[in-house]
Structure 1
Amino acid sequence: MPRFSDTEKERIRQKMMQEGERLFTTFGIKKVSIDEIVQATGIAKGSFYSFYTSKEHLYMDIAGSLQMKMWREMDEFLEENKLLPPRELCKQCFLWMFRKLESYPMLKQADSETAEYLYRKLPPEVIAAHTKDDSHELDQLQKYGVHFKCGIDIATKTLQTLAISFLNLQQDTAADQQTIMGIILDGVLKELISDESD
């Protein structure tokens, strides 16, 4: 196993994430090989495995990092819209995140096929860690008066399923996307979120 200083490790990890994001965005996760990642990064193949067990694990690390950036921006959105009723705040937040995907092409191109592939290839603990990150963000929504009728875990998995479904709408016009997402969100959020009028 290669030995790197902490500074070298961080530099290599950042380069792998940068090149991985570029390759995954351009070709999709299935078509990118570890050989292509290490060639673009300028490291030996053995070095790759001292950071990640698979290209799918790298993909999830990149996706998690991109989501964290989006969530930091989402916190600003929530602060600016905190006077909306809880259910409407959650709906507008979800629609905002979908529009924001334009800034994150790798996340935008993910669909149900990508999700199924990752679930098949990754160990359950990697998927569980990603779900935990998403539920942390729903915890943040509670600070803005959003109270879930079900547990955070169920709410998280429900909204993750919706997110993947919404990514499958990308062939539709923007107006149709907004209409369809609005209808689905109204129904789902009525079941998930308590509103003051309930």
Structure 2
Amino acid sequence: MPKKFTDQERDWIRDKMLKEARHCFEKMGLKKTSIEELTRAAGIAQGSFYMFFGSKEELYFELIQEEEKRIRKTILELFPPGETCSKEGIKRFLLHSFHMMDESPLLRQMMSQGEMEQLFRKLPPSLLEHNFTEDHDALRPVIAAWQMEGILADVAPETIVSMIRSLMLLTLHKNEIGEEHFTATIDLLVEVLATGMLSMSKQVGEGDQV
């Protein structure tokens, strides 16, 4: 029977496992990291792991969410909503977001090892839905600023969030796209995306004036 822990012990053990898991996942990935390694670092039995996390994948996903939250916070501090409403502002916003995702050791390991499918297959749908909601809530000020300027004003905010997420997920397919072409491909996609967003808005504006 798993040992009972005080609230203070639980907080310490959970924090210890998260720190050890980040180190292991960045170095070896999800598949090669064992629950035994994580619990040994925290000084608890393997069976006690499930008192803190539903699965190794849920622990991994929590770290990914923390990393995404850090990236979103940094991006929104660097690009206040009102400063992203021009074509160049949109391009800088998208490219900087993309490069921060691509440069994260934790996310890069997940992408290079192709572990996204395993992760999503084993996670409860409610966790994935919560992740989308966090993205939507964080990006709402930027999307609201765009739509006040007439950029994609007639598009549902959830669809705009999905568009941005789709661009970020291309980091998962660097090998398929070809590393030698990857940077130029992303630059071109962002250029076309920013141009198209503004072009669609102008078309709507011209249609309103007729």
The answer to whether residue 101 in structure 2 is matched with residue 72 in structure 1 is no
Bigger radius of gyration? 2
Q: 1:83 to 1:158 in 2, by over 3 A?
A: closer
CA contact (8 A) 1:25 1:105 kept: yes
- Whole-Å Cα distance in 2 between the matches of residues 139 and 6 of structure 1? 36
Q: Paired residues, what number?
A: 194
Counterpart of 1:159 (choices 155, 164, 189) is: 164
Provide Cα deviations, 1:41-73, integer angstroms capped at 9, x if missing partner. Answer: 322223210111101000110111111112221
Tell me what 1:178 maps to: 183
Query: 1:14: Cα distance to partner?
Result: 1.5
Q: 1:103 to 1:109 in 2, by over 3 A?
A: same
The answer to whether residue 106 in structure 2 is matched with residue 106 in structure 1 is yes
- Whole-Å Cα distance in 2 between the matches of residues 9 and 192 of structure 1? 48
Trace 1:25-40 onto structure 2 (pairs within 5 A): 25-40=26-41
Q: 1:101 to 1:84 in 2, by over 3 A?
A: closer
Greater helix share, structure number: 2
Query: What code does the residue aligned with 1:55 have?
Result: K
> Which ranges in structure 1 are unaligned for 5 or more consecutive residues?
none
Question: Aligned residues: percent identity?
Answer: 26
Provide Cα deviations, 1:1-56, integer angstroms capped at 9, x if missing partner. Answer: 54333332222222111111111111111221212221223222232101111010
The answer to whether residue 134 in structure 2 is matched with residue 133 in structure 1 is yes
Tell me what 2:4 maps to: 3
TM-score relative to the length of structure 1: 0.81
Which range moved further: 63-72 or 85-94? 85-94
Tell me what 1:92 maps to: 92
TM-score relative to the length of structure 2: 0.77
- Whole-Å Cα distance in 2 between the matches of residues 53 and 121 of structure 1? 10
> Secondary structure of the residue that 2:110 maps to in structure 1?
coil
Query: What code does the residue aligned with 2:105 have?
Result: P
